[in-house]
Structure 1
Amino acid sequence: MSVTFFLPEGEIPPDVLSLDVDRDWEWFRNAQQAWILQTCLRLRAVGDDVVLASTLPQAGVLVFYAAHKHLVRRLWTPQSRCLLVAVRGDRHEVDIGDVEILQNPRSAQPPRRIAMPHWPQPGLIARERSRGARLENVAFKGVRKNLHPELAGPEWEASVQGLGLNWQGPSAIGEDQKAPREWRDFRTADALIAVRPPRRDAYPGKPATKLINAWLAGVPAILGPESAYMALRESELDFLVAADANQALAALRLLKGDPARYRAMVENGQRRAREFDVAATTRRWQRLLFEELLPQATTLQRRLSPRWRRAVGLCRRLVGARAGR
């Protein structure tokens, strides 16, 4: 009895088992590849008994991405006894899953909804140590829609230049949808900014990946008050909080005028990064899959099919909505 990672046949790359996650980082550009394919390959690399397949096993643990729930439901047969583990990402509840994996700890509700940090950026290149506490280049590693409008126009760039700094803004993703190279390259980045458009719910489905990448890269971060970031914040050395352009500029002035704080944030980030690097995240997956979930899978008996579980979930939410009126 083993752990199977599910991807539709058309989404499994050719010669998939020859891929190296950090060498072939461009393959891991969307959620299902980042969560399903990457996790499978990372665990295989350390010798764990895992399988990548486009069919459902009759036993063991099946890990699939939320976007593929309809296909998993269609492939289910009465002979299936596998424990269904749905990686939700930032999608809606997956009723057919026995267990859901969420990327934001604030939304977790064990034992059914379990938080798991997103993998760091594959192939990440850290900031050059020789740059010391120099603050010249301010970077955003992402697409424009995920950046606060006040930080996406020429006025913001002019304000950054007014501080004597360079702005390395949003990247354009080409037609092939490959992740831009600059997303993984922090060699000349001296500060990272990641402030999304404002939202009352503080983005409960989003992960803390940009913070973890900044820690690993040795770059101080200025981040919006998102729930995933705030859940990890232990002190002001973890990151500076900014909800808009004015607060982001104030944070840059603080870093520029206080080299000692800059160095302290880098050192603190390197310490915190050990909690979320590839080795630590691998151990989290191993404990969850092989120590907690696989033993549960051995005791499964005949139960409701995913179709019936979906119907039960819909009824439960309908009753809850009526009760809340």
Structure 2
Amino acid sequence: GIFTFINHYQPRCSDSYAVYQALKSSIPDIDLKHYGEGSDLGTRSAFDALKGARATLHIKDDGVCCNAVIESISVGVPVVMDRVSYRALGLEKYVVDHVSGMLFDTVEEGAAILRKLSEDDEYLEQLRETTLQHARKCYQLDSGSIDEFRRFLNRALDGRILEASNPECLAVSKKRSGGRFDIHPSERIFFLHPLGEKPEVHDSSFQFNDGSATSVLQAAVKLKQYGYACELTDSVNASGVYLVHPDFLHWEAFKNVNAFVVSVRNDRPAQSDAHCEVVHNPVVGELNPEGQLFFIPNYSQKNIVPRNHGQRGSIIENIVYSGRIHNLAPEFLAPEFGDWLHSHGMKLDIRTDPETWTDYSDVDVIVAARDFHSNWINKPANKLVNAWWGEVPAILGPECAFQWYRKSELDYFEAHGMDDVKASLLKLKEQPELYQKMISNAQRRQQDVSDEFVTKEWVHTLEENIKPLVREWFAKRAS
């Protein structure tokens, strides 16, 4: 059968019991063995009995516990979990990411997954093998090393702050109180922005089209979706850690609270009065003698529509610049360059409307160079990252952020003048196989700049770099 684990089998804190009952009613012919406080079977199954389960279903509420999840994975029994539990447990990286399609948002989705696991032996066997291989590969453990496996996970999660969907069911820090974890006021994380309390920033259609929005708003939204405990706000009303873009860093707002201020610099000048800074240019992050600068990659533009390869193939016709016109080298606007493009069957399309910046469907090549001689140490690598997600070759200026990401010539063409731009365009036009290689490479590089990767970099930086500075600062103020 399928073993189910619910912290409180009888209704108490959340909807977990109701979800279980709804699932049970949807699939009455499938044997669900339920465990949890209040169940006749007890809170946990015997380890040997667990090995015989087809899968385990986890619907959690307050006091979320990962032991049953860990035990299930360690013996190759696939895990099924509702998304609320997935976020509350905080074991995404370690436990369930390797099994696609095993998370559900609705009772109907959960019932469909459980039915497939119950009836499809071939599918189940594949998942069992994948689950066990993942545990062995990631943690280099024997299948019987459950204790070591559990200790590894406890170490990996030590000190992380994670947030359940129910505000009464927070899982945070190492300090436990009354069955729940509590956040110390000094470590409350606030992302401060004028749009911080606007509900539309959480809509999937909302576009983060300027530096302050991508650096602060998008980071906060992604962290909250990931399950990290933080708050979006448009005002300063409590003590804690405030992350704010320099454009909105008004020091008088912090005069009545104990605020540890983190400047999320983006492409702005250094903020010497901030307690520390987050930068999006990796070279700046490396020039950090006092340990007060922390590099976190910027998120890509939201909702990018990639190039329509099926329709456009290896056509090199639409050469596109997307952005503000003052950020494009004037040589691109010269009539002679337009004439040259026309003579080779190409045209320059300058898109200054932010509403068009995410649509790469008809783009054949991206060009972006502020000039051909500066390294622009304050600028992030947005144009390159967005080109990879748009699955389009890019011709870029010699900026240090681009160079830092570059692993091969397939990543992008670097131009030191218009002759380089022309040569790169001709090479792409005359070598369709090179064009296809650059597209394939862009698709591979997406994993290095994915939203998930950037979000985990945020969590790591906040927990491992910024939080220690916060504790030290508050301790000095208290002494």
Normalised to the residue count of structure 2, the TM-score between the two structures is: 0.56
Structure 1 position 138 matched with structure 2 position 316: no
Partner in structure 1 of residue 346 of structure 2: 165
Partner in structure 1 of residue 232 of structure 2: 52
Partner in structure 2 of residue 89 of structure 1: 266
Q: Counterparts of 1:296 and 1:32 in 2: how far apart (Å)?
A: 24
TM-superposition CA deviations, 1:41-88 (whole Å, max 9, x none): 12122222111123336544210111223x1x21234750x4321111
Partner in structure 1 of residue 32 of structure 2: none
Mapping of 1:26-37 within 5 angstroms? 28-37=208-217
Q: Counterparts of 2:231 and 2:303 in 1: how far apart (Å)?
A: 23
Q: From 311, 317, 333, give the equivalent of 1:152.
A: 333
Q: Counterparts of 1:223 and 1:79 in 2: how far apart (Å)?
A: 45
Kept in 2, the 8 Å contact 1:21–1:41? The answer is no
Kept in 2, the 8 Å contact 1:126–1:217? The answer is yes
Q: From 281, 287, 303, give the equivalent of 1:123.
A: 303
Kept in 1, the 8 Å contact 2:305–2:358? The answer is yes
Kept in 1, the 8 Å contact 2:372–2:398? The answer is no
Structure 1 position 76 matched with structure 2 position 254: yes
In structure 1, what residue type is equivalent to 2:315? Answer: R
Question: 1:96, CA displacement in angstroms?
Answer: 1.8
Mapping of 1:100-249 within 5 angstroms? 100-108=277-285, 109-110=287-288, 111-130=291-310, 131-171=312-352, 173=353, 179=354, 181-200=355-374, 202-249=375-422
Kept in 2, the 8 Å contact 1:103–1:117? The answer is yes
Q: Counterparts of 2:298 and 2:366 in 1: how far apart (Å)?
A: 18
Kept in 2, the 8 Å contact 1:195–1:244? The answer is no
Q: Answer with 34-43 or 51-60: which moved more.
A: 51-60
Provide closer, same or farther for how the CA distance between residues 106 and 21 of structure 1 changes in structure 2, counting only shifts above 3 A.
Answer: farther
Provide closer, same or farther for how the CA distance between residues 169 and 128 of structure 1 changes in structure 2, counting only shifts above 3 A.
Answer: same
Q: Counterparts of 2:340 and 2:388 in 1: how far apart (Å)?
A: 26
Partner in structure 2 of residue 317 of structure 1: none
Kept in 2, the 8 Å contact 1:148–1:244? The answer is no
Kept in 2, the 8 Å contact 1:59–1:297? The answer is no
Partner in structure 2 of residue 61 of structure 1: 241
Q: Counterparts of 1:88 and 1:266 in 2: how far apart (Å)?
A: 31
Q: Counterparts of 2:209 and 2:384 in 1: how far apart (Å)?
A: 18
Provide closer, same or farther for how the CA distance between residues 60 and 294 of structure 1 changes in structure 2, counting only shifts above 3 A.
Answer: farther
Kept in 1, the 8 Å contact 2:373–2:398? The answer is no
Q: Counterparts of 1:204 and 1:303 in 2: how far apart (Å)?
A: 34
Q: Answer with 260-269 or 152-161: which moved more.
A: 152-161
Kept in 2, the 8 Å contact 1:152–1:169? The answer is no
In structure 2, what residue type is equivalent to 1:261? Answer: L
Larger Rg: 2
Q: Counterparts of 1:242 and 1:292 in 2: how far apart (Å)?
A: 36
Q: Counterparts of 2:467 and 2:293 in 1: how far apart (Å)?
A: 16
Kept in 2, the 8 Å contact 1:61–1:293? The answer is no
Aligned Cα RMSD in Å? 2.1
Question: 1:303, CA displacement in angstroms?
Answer: 5.5
Question: 1:298, CA displacement in angstroms?
Answer: 3.3
SS in 2 for 1:225: coil
SS in 2 for 1:63: strand
Question: 1:133, CA displacement in angstroms?
Answer: 2.5
SS in 2 for 1:238: coil
In structure 2, what residue type is equivalent to 1:16? Answer: K
Kept in 2, the 8 Å contact 1:60–1:298? The answer is no
Question: 1:140, CA displacement in angstroms?
Answer: 0.7
In structure 1, what residue type is equivalent to 2:227? Answer: G
SS in 2 for 1:86: strand
Runs of 4+ more than 6 Å apart: none
Question: 1:191, CA displacement in angstroms?
Answer: 0.8
Unaligned runs of 5+ in 1: 174-178, 305-325
Partner in structure 2 of residue 12 of structure 1: 195
Structure 1 position 39 matched with structure 2 position 219: yes
Provide closer, same or farther for how the CA distance between residues 18 and 269 of structure 1 changes in structure 2, counting only shifts above 3 A.
Answer: same
* Identity within the alignment, %: 26
SS in 2 for 1:186: coil
In structure 2, what residue type is equivalent to 1:283? Answer: K
Question: 1:302, CA displacement in angstroms?
Answer: 6.1
Q: Counterparts of 1:196 and 1:291 in 2: how far apart (Å)?
A: 35
Mapping of 1:266-281 within 5 angstroms? 266-281=439-454
Q: From 195, 205, 212, give the equivalent of 1:23.
A: 205
Kept in 2, the 8 Å contact 1:124–1:184? The answer is yes
In structure 1, what residue type is equivalent to 2:347? Answer: N
Q: Counterparts of 2:392 and 2:358 in 1: how far apart (Å)?
A: 13
Q: Counterparts of 2:333 and 2:321 in 1: how far apart (Å)?
A: 10
